Each structure stands twice: as C-alpha cells, then as structure tokens.
Chains A and B, each alone.
Chain A
Amino acid sequence: MSDLTKLKISEARDGLKEGKFSSRELIAAHLTAMGSAKGMNAFITETLDKAVDGATKSDDRRAKGDVGKLEGIPLAIKDLFCTKGVLTTAGSHILDGFTPQYESTVTTNLWNEGAVMLGKVNLDEFAMGSSNETSFYGNVVNPWRRTTDDQPLVPGGSSGGSASAVASNIAMGATGTDTGGSIRQPAAFTGIVGMKPTYGRCSRWGVVAFASSLDQAGPMTRSVQDAAIMLEAMCGFDPKDSTSVDMAVPNFEAALTGDIRGLKVGIPKEYRLDGISSEISALWEKGIEWLKNAGAEIVDISLPHTKYALPAYYIIAPAEASSNLARYDGVRFGLRVEGESLDDMYSKTRGEGFGEEVKRRLLIGTYALSAGYYDAYYLKAQKVRARIADDFKEAYKSVDVILTPTTPSAAFAFGEKGDDPLEMYLNDVFTVPASLAGLPGISVPAGLSADGLPLGLQILGRPFDEETVLRAAGVLEKAAEFTATPTAWWRG
C-alpha cells in the first residue's frame, strides 16, 4: 500500500479510474506517511477526519460517475488559505485560534474538483521568508540531506511545508503562494515542480494577503503534468477578486505536446551574476542545450533592470504588507494582548503577535510610505517596477519564454545564512523580477549538486501564456530525467 504515496497525480488518477484502488486507500496511505513524518514539521494542522470523510465521499461520487479533475487526490494546503472551520494561522502567533467561517476560492475550486485535504502546511510567517525559519510553528525541515553531512537543511520558503510534504510523498500535491518566489524557490530546494501562474489567474479571495499586487497561488507537484492538472483545477475567474482576470481556463494538460520546435527561448545576460555557484551555471548551460536539442531557438536577451528588482521588491512588498497586516489588531479575531488603552492593546498585541522578520518588514514598509519618504522609496520603487515590466515586454517581442536558474544555490542548512536579512533576500534574485511583472513562471528539478541536493531551472512566459511555459517545462523535465529521491530519514 505504501507504494500509493509514490504515485503522481496523473498516475493516481488512472489507478482510481481503473479501480486499482479507492480514494480511501489512497488517503489512508498518505495519512500513514503523514503520521510518520512529524519530524519534518511540515504540517501545522492535520485534518485526518476530514481527509477520511473526504475520501469516502469521493469514492461515493465516483461510484455515481461524478468525477472531478482531482477526484480523490490527497493534497496539502498552505496555511495561508482560509479553510472553513479549520484553524488558519499564516504561520503567525497573531492568528491564534483563528477559524475562518469561509473557504478560499482556490480551495473551493479544488474541493469542487474532488480533491481531498490532508491538512494545513507550515510556511514562513505571513509568507515572509525564503527558508521557512520564520514560522511561529517552528522550522520545516527539507527531506533532502547532503551526501556529505547530516545537517538538517531548509526547504526554502515561504511555501516550505508544501514543498517538503510533496517531496517526501506525504501529499501528492500542495497549494503554494508566490509573492517573490515562494513557490518556485522551495520547489527548487526540494526537487519538485512549482508553478506561479500569471497574476490574476488564481483568485486571491480567502488567501491571507502579504503583498496584494504580487501574491499569486499556484501548484506544487512532482511532475509538470501534475502541475498542469492541478493548476487547471485551482484557477479561474472569480468576481470576488477585482484583480482576477475574466478569461477561460485552457486545458493546460493538453498543452504538454512535447513539441517545442521553433520556440524562441531567451537567455538573459543579466542573470549571469557574480557569486552564482558554478554548479548552477553549469546546469543552466545544460538546460539551454536540452531545449536547443529539442528544436528550440536560443536567443540572447537583455533585461537591463534585473539588478534593481530585489531592492524594488523589498520596498513594495513590505509597504503593501504594512497596510495589509493592519487588520491584525486583536479586535475581531486572533490574538489579543490586553493593554491599558486601545492603542496600548494594539501595540502589545502586534508586538507579541508578530515575529521578528514580519516586524522588520512592517517597519520598513511603514517607513517607506510615511510622509516625506513616500516619493523616495515607494513611488521610486513602483517606477523601477514599471521599468522591469517594460524590460520583459521588450524581451517578449523576440522570445516566447525565458530560461534561467531558479535559485543562486542549493538548499542551505539552518542558521547558515547568518543574521543578515540581506543575504537571505538574495535567495529570490532570480524569481522576484517575474513576480514584479506579474508573469507566469515554473521551476523544474533539473539536476543534483555535487553534494546530492536538487537544483531547479526556471521558465518564464508571457502573461497568461501558461500553456507555452508548461510545454517548455515538460520538455525540460523529460530531458533532465530527474528521478532522484530523498532518503526517508524522517521515518524514525
């Protein structure tokens, strides 16, 4: 039975269809895996009863011929998605005990397609982090270890719980959210596929907001095909989100033709950074070779303002967050620390309820918007952002997709990045520009580092052209033949 956890969504779909196993059996196998992997700390809330109940209902539906796109498939949900009647924390102390009375649009879509929830997975507090070290519920551990030592490694962030759960076969897929790389970077660190669709493709309604103009939900899976299946189920127009785009959802799976002959692939010279590991550079070259061999045309391009994406991001995202997180005030939900006055209650609640990284960003964001500094920081950053978006627009005149590394390095050990927040921010150097421009991007596992850790390559596309991105990613996946799996140290 434990073999069932190794299946991809596409394979489980076939097995369920052919009656080789039931959803109940599939879920049971995953619940067992979940139970034996507590040491990874991937889950904040395990919803066993719901999972069993969901599987039973799925089997009943299937018996009646009512089969959704993800019928009976076990998923983990990032604890940033509000789930009705299930604790939702955003990885923060300040949401203590918060039980939403509503269900996010994305998870609603998934349940409507028959998916079954295993539980809510851990993340950096309010999705602010690149290593899953900022969660109030503790660090998530990467299922991968170096071949050279036994040090626990970070899974990346902020969707670290999602990444670890999928990479260790606890969940067949997981929802992630990506603000500056929070899907793609942990996917790369854990050897799975992570896709951020175009801004506006997935509804943000019911997803705890970090930075509204950047946040976008997406799938984290063990194959490109699975990503296509899951994305199709979770996205779609939502009238409750003013930034949701009213556009038909394509059949993403059908886009995986394997044929990229004539596809123009851009290689941005500005991504050849100093300090990038030679392994990463080598992998990138391999990726170029693979796509070329498959018939793509490689085009050198320039994205001249790439260098400024990170600093612009680290003004814009905190500025929006400083306003988005003002609602956590101890009045209507979550933690309240009593005070002598209303303001005292606010300050104590927020002072104790938010962790250090969140506080740091809220202060930066507040400062960047404050009188006298708005023009120099926030407005300037939004102008630079426009420049960055223009760079991509210009590039897409001559190319269809862009190929880059996902991260500048493989997963690192806890505490390895030191106390310097700037060093941590550099993790997102390859993922942030596309976030600022709202473009779709996917990370595909493409190789191993010398010490046995997975490395990812990223494909970026035109707005709402996820199909081409997925097609190119499929070709990359096939060429890379990435079959390595982590050793199950966590089953202790």
Chain B
Amino acid sequence: MGMIIQGATGDWEVVIGLEVHAQVSSNSKLFSGSATEYGADQNTQVSFVDAAMPGMLPVINEMAVEQAVRTGLGLKAKINKYSVFDRKNYFYADLPQGYQISQFLQPIVGEGTMTIELKDGEIREIGITRLHLEQDAGKSIHDQHPSMTLVDLNRSGVALMEIVSEPDLRSPEEAAAYVKKLRSIVRYLGTCDGNMDEGSMRADVNVSVRKFGDELGTRCEMKNLNSMRFIQQAIVYEANRQVDILEAGGKIKQETRLYDSVKGETRSMRSKEEAHDYRYFPDPDLLPLQFDDAYIEKIKADLPELPDEKKARFIKELKISDYDAGVLVAEKEVADFFEVVAKGRDAKLSANWIIGDFFGNLKRTSNTLSNTPVSADSLGALIDLVKDGTISNRTAKEVLEEMFDTGKDAAAIVDEKGLKQVSDTGAIEAAIDTIIAANLDKVEQYRGGKDKLLGFFVGQVMKATGGKANPGVVNQLLKPKLDG
C-alpha cells in the first residue's frame, strides 16, 4: 500500500527513489593498500595515496571489482564488461584529491530488479537503475575543537558501491523494506557487512509528491541517512512539507536537504546550495575496467543461495509456513542457524523453537545471534530430547532458559536436575493406585458422571511424580482404572 497524503485539493502520492552507499567488504581500499577496518585511530589507516600527496597514483583492488560484480549478479542486474572510472571534481576538507574517483556514464553494473515483501504480504518489484564503484571520503569532525574542523582520512578511499533504485517506492514502509532487503542480499553475498551504525550502509533518499496519475514532481534529496527509522521519518516529514508547499500554491525547489534527526525535520543545506558542477571526466590515471564472460561466470558459479530462493525452498521442501520462512531468511545468520538445527530434525518444530523461545531468550539475555550462548547444535539436542519424550515441551522451555543462563547443554541440565520424564508404566501405575485408594469418594463422583474430575486425578499423578510423568502415559493408564 502506498502512502497517501490527503490534502485540501485531493490525494497526493509519494514517490521515493534511493541511492544506497554500501561499503565493499575488503581488506584494503579501492585504490590503495591501506586497511579498511572500522574504528582505528585518526589517520592511521591512510597511505600517501589516500592523503592525495603529490605524484600519488591509484591502482584498483581486484576484490572491489569482484564484489561489485557479485552484488550485481545478486540483484539480477546486467553486468557491464567494460566500465570507466571518472573523476567527480569538488572541493571539501575530507576529499583530499579534490575529486572523488567514481563511475559516471559507464558503471560496472546496469539495470536489475529486487522484490520486496510488505507487511500485508504484497510483493513488489523494485527497479535497480545501476550500481557503480566509487571512493568514500574522509571524515570531518566539527565538534571536537572550538574553532577548527578536524579531518580524519581513515575512510578516505574505502570502496563503496552506490546502488541506485528507480523511483518505484511509494511509502516510508516500502523504502525501509527496500533497504532491509538490499542489506539482506549484500550480507548473504558477503559483499557488505550492512552495518548501518558504523556507516557501512547509508542512504540518500529522493522524495517527490504528485497527484495520482500525474507526471513525477520535483524531488528533494536527503543525504547520508544511516538508520531505517531516520529514512522513514525523513520521508514522512519531507513528503508532508512538499504537499503543504504545493497546496499553498508554491513550487518545490530541487535541492539537497539535511535531515535533522534531533528535530525530526529536513532543512535546506545552504552551504551546499551553490551550483554544483562536478566536471566529470575519465580518470587519466586509470584505464577502462574490463573483464570477460568467463570472469562473470566464475563468480556466478560461487554465488550463494539468496533470500528469495531460500524462502521458496523452505516453503516447498521443508513445509515451513510463508511467514516463518520469511522470518528465517531475512538474515543470513538466522537462515544458516535454522538449517543447522533443522538438519535431520522436524523442520517445522525447529522453526517454531527458533522463532519462539530461542529468539525470546536471546532478547531476554540481551544477546544477538552472533554471540548466542546456545549454539545451533545445542538447540538441536534440546529439540531431540522433546521429540524422543525424554522431557516435556514445558520442561524444555525451562531447560532452554537454563541453557542461556549457564551455557550448559540440555542433557547435562536434565540430568543434573533430574528432569527426565517418567514413561515407566509400572511407576505411574503405582502412583495411580495410591491416589485412587486415597480418593475413593472422588472416584465415586467421577463414575457418577462428573467427568471433570479426570483433570484432578491427572494433576494428582503429576504432582506425585514430581511433574516428570509423561502426560500421555498418565492419561492412557488412568482412564481405564477410573472407569473400573
């Protein structure tokens, strides 16, 4: 469902396009051999090339090329065997070369598509315009010195993939679903860690509004949004701002706007408003980027199963529900975890345990899947104990909590605490006999038609066995004895 803004003059449709900057997972930078790791001390991961010292030259990192092609294949996009690096010229303190090496007219990846699934189950296909490789800029820090801006070039020259969508998105939810899905795909592919907190993924959001059926309106761009929440808030604010202007008879000025997450509003970035003229031209320090079909095929052959295909397989082969499959495949780590647990086990039961109690316990203990104290194998062993009747479902829930808290495995906890379920008919029969003997009056009432008393007897047996009696066996044995 698209977002509709009801104005005085009628309904407005919101049109959104996204440019996502995804940091390529690689050891070294796009055109230099410095490290890319996050969080290092200022200017320690900088080479003379990254600092644009006189006479320094770029040499391309083969991994960046491979990752871009892999991502392109994951987006079912056209891979361009010939692409060109251009210089985008502008001055800024954290852009040491005075230009960014990017790809303008001939990107490495052309048109592709991606499907997103909305809350109501609707599937939408979103067009990908292109993907190109470019250098990241450094970082300007404005609040650490009273009169100066400080510049750290650690990020300068890190490889980015800019992934541009068609203006196919119609609501903040769709935009968020798109980013989420893109993040999921690049993480599956291992081409970007998708870590938005560390800036590995950020989005420029283009928003315009129009009356249904009209041509596209003038758009405004909000740069560098680094959370799903900010993306959505910025869209809502910006779309309403534009409708207000248009309804008041005004015109939208095409511009770059800053989203202020503290105030929850967008505002014009006057400092960047002077006419930009990037003077793109092919970088004469580099040659065209070329590879052959065999290169593409080799990467294609190693492509992992992606979320859409995985989901389809889970539904078809493992009989998992559409919803559960969607939850399981959204994150590659979850899907991998599930596949380990479900291997040789009841897939549906495994899915229920993961989505239910396992996730619940992760949350309770403030853990994530990456540092879970309970491994997939441990969870599987627990499910095995339920399945073979060693413990009851209810006991298993308690055991799992204990596993999270102590890190011990299920069998050890069951042993230690003597939680093993009693299925020995002799022991249960003896308990039943004792209870019947002690409650002859109730037996009479039961036989007189008070069926509800069956529950009382079951409860007493369970109590007498310390809750370890197998409830199925208890039922099976108790009924004939009560009936006489």
Q: What residues make up the interface of A, taking CB atoms closer than 8 Å to B?
A: 81-82, 88, 90, 95, 98, 100-102, 104, 204-209, 211-213, 239-243, 319-320, 322-323, 325-327, 329, 331-333, 342-343, 346, 366, 369-371, 374, 378
Contacts and interface: CB of A to CB of B under 8 A. Distances in A.
A209 B48 CA distance: 14
Tell me the interface secondary structure of chain A in the complex.
loop
A327 B283 CA distance: 15
| 5 closest A-B pairs by CB | A326-B98, A369-B279, A212-B284, A213-B284, A206-B55
Contacts of B280: 369, 374
Contacts of A207: 55
A213 B53 CA distance: 18
A287 to B, nearest CB: 34
Interface in B129-186: 149, 151
B146 to A, nearest CB: 16
B216 interface: no
B55 A82 contact: yes
B71 interface: no
A331 B287 contact: no
Contacts of B52: 327, 332
Nearest to B286: A242
A348 to B, nearest CB: 13
Contacts of A319: 281
A330 to B, nearest CB: 10
A291 to B, nearest CB: 35
Interface of B: 48, 51-60, 87, 89, 91-93, 96-99, 149, 151, 277, 279-281, 283-287
18 contacts: A82-B54, A90-B54, A95-B54, A101-B48, A205-B55, A240-B57, A240-B59, A241-B57, A241-B59, A243-B285, A243-B287, A323-B98, A327-B52, A331-B151, A332-B53, A332-B96, A343-B91, A374-B279
Contacts, number: 100
Contacts of A82: 53-55
B230 to A, nearest CB: 26
B17 to A, nearest CB: 22
A243 B56 CA distance: 13
Contact of A327 (B98, B151, B281, B286): B98
Nearest to B51: A332
A450 to B, nearest CB: 42
A323 B55 contact: no
Given A331-B151, A343-B91, A366-B279, A320 B55 contact: no
Contacts of B283: 212
Contact of A370 (B48, B56, B93, B277): B277
B393 to A, nearest CB: 63
Contacts of B57: 204-205, 240-242
Given A213-B284, A242-B59, A346 B54 contact: no
A342 B279 contact: no
A104 B91 contact: no
Contact of A374 (B55, B96, B281, B285): B281
Contacts of B54: 82, 88, 90, 95, 98, 100, 208-209, 327, 333
Contacts of B96: 327, 331-332
Given A327-B96, A331-B151, A342-B93, A204 B284 contact: no
B149 A208 contact: no
Contacts of A243: 285-287
A209 B151 contact: no
A427 B149 CA distance: 46
A323 B279 contact: yes
A326 B91 contact: yes
A329 B53 CA distance: 11
A32 B150 CA distance: 48
B55 A327 contact: no
B279 A205 contact: no
Contacts of B99: 323, 326
A327 B55 CA distance: 11
A120 B130 CA distance: 48
A320 B279 contact: no
Given A342-B92, A366-B279, 10 more contacts: A81-B55, A88-B54, A104-B55, A319-B281, A325-B98, A329-B98, A331-B151, A332-B51, A370-B279, A374-B279
Contact of B284 (A208, A320, A333): A320
B281 to A, nearest CB: 6
A98 B149 CA distance: 22
Given A329-B98, A332-B96, A370-B279, A242 B58 contact: yes
Nearest to A90: B54
A264 B277 CA distance: 49
Contacts of B89: 322-323, 326, 369
A370 B93 CA distance: 22
Contacts of B48: 101-102
Contacts of A206: 55-56
B149 A342 contact: yes
Contacts of A211: 284
A209 B280 CA distance: 18
A209 B55 contact: yes
A255 B132 CA distance: 47
Contacts of B284: 211-213, 320
